[in-house]
Amino acid sequence: MEYANHLNEYAPAQSEAQVAEEVARMKEAARSNENAEVYKFCYSAIDLTTLSCTDSVASVTEFARKAAEFNERFPHIPNVASICIYPSFVETVGLAVDGTPMRITSVAGGFPASQTFLEVKALEVAMAIENGADEVDIVLNVGRMLTGEYDEAANEVEVIRAETDPEVVLKVIIESGALKTPELIRKASLLSMFAGADFVKTSTGKIDVAATPEAAVVMCHAIRDYYEKTGRKVGFKAAGGVRTPQDAVLYYTIVREILGEEWCTTDLFRIGASSAANNLLSAIEGHEVKYF
């Protein structure tokens, strides 16, 4: 399908200076959100992530077990939204969290570079879902975005979307740190939504520049503009470098200020994180917590 022409229906991105001014306002507004209730919500929005070359069945099983048993130790804190792992560990996590409401997220589709055959990407996504993934995070083809092959980049997402059941949540990572400019970040976000993304996500966490508040501002404006034209709500996920409670609250504030209170649910806001989980728990409990 031709998607690039639809970009002309949307206003251009803000300038870098305008984005910087908005980020400064968001940082100021975030101070009033640094409290236990917001910390709890941010914790509940985490896709608890382990994406390491050292992951094993044993380590992932223990990781998932701790998440599954979280409410036994912390019954007053809502649990994380999901566990995020490589496709080969989807079944492992499924066994560890069986009988709980824990959702399973898998990166797939040639993560993190998206540099393989489209058939391989689609097959990997299908296999992750067959093994039990409720949600799948794929990477938009950044190389195609950088060379202006917008239809080709979006069509890859469309093909993968067609391989997933409608109830499977598809998150598309635009790798904003590689796109760099507000205009490319906006285009990548819109193209992902045109092609069927349920979420747009900042980063893989595997390159030098991961999530930034600047990218989040641009992406959330694209989500808002898309919603105003189509009536379809698309979620936002910040991932890569989100470590402190203050980081999490800043992204929460950006979402709330630009998209509104109705986006402040785990159906429409996620944080991809590992160390942020313990840091948010420490902020909630008022002392250092090393649960994970």
pLDDT in tens, 177-216: 999 999 999 999 999 999 999 999 999 999 999 999 999 9
The CA-to-CA distance between both ends of the chain, in Å, stands at 44
Axis crossing angle, helix 182-194 with helix 150-162, rounded to the nearest 10: 40
Distance between CA atoms of residues 194 and 154, nearest Å:
8
Which of the four pLDDT bands, split at 50, 70 and 90, describes residue 1? confident
Distance between CA atoms of residues 108 and 113, nearest Å:
10
Check residue 224 and give its pLDDT.
Answer: 98
Class of domain 4-285: alpha beta
Can you give the pTM of this predicted structure?
Answer: 0.97
Per-domain residue ranges for the chain? 4-285
Contact criterion met (CB below 8 Å) for 164 and 127: no
pLDDT tens by residue, 77-103: 999 999 999 999 999 999 999 999 999
Task: From residue 78, give the alpha-carbon distance in Å to each of 45, 46, 101, 164.
Answer: 9, 11, 12, 28
Check residue 291 and give its pLDDT.
Answer: 96
Query: 71 — alpha (psi -120 to 50), left (phi > 0) or beta?
Result: alpha
Check residue 136 and give its pLDDT.
Answer: 98
Which of the four pLDDT bands, split at 50, 70 and 90, describes residue 247? very high
Q: Which two three-digit tokens encode residue 165?
A: 């059941």
- Residue 283 carries which side chain, given as an amino acid letter? A
How wide is the angle at C-alpha 141 spanned by C-alphas 135 and 145, nearest 5°? 130
Give catalytic residues, as residue numbers.
137, 201, 237
Scan for tokens 């840091």, then name that residue: 279
pLDDT tens by residue, 122-150: 999 999 999 999 999 999 999 999 999 99
Helix (H, G, I), strand (E, B) or coil at 134: coil
Distance between CA atoms of residues 43 and 29, nearest Å:
20
pLDDT tens by residue, 159-173: 999 989 999 999 999
| Averaged pLDDT score across all residues of the chain | 97
Other CB atoms within 10 Å distance of the CB of residue 245: 21
Helix (H, G, I), strand (E, B) or coil at 258: helix
Check residue 133 and give its pLDDT.
Answer: 98
Task: Provide mean pLDDT across the span 13-23.
Answer: 98
Check residue 163 and give its pLDDT.
Answer: 84
Which of the four pLDDT bands, split at 50, 70 and 90, describes residue 37? very high
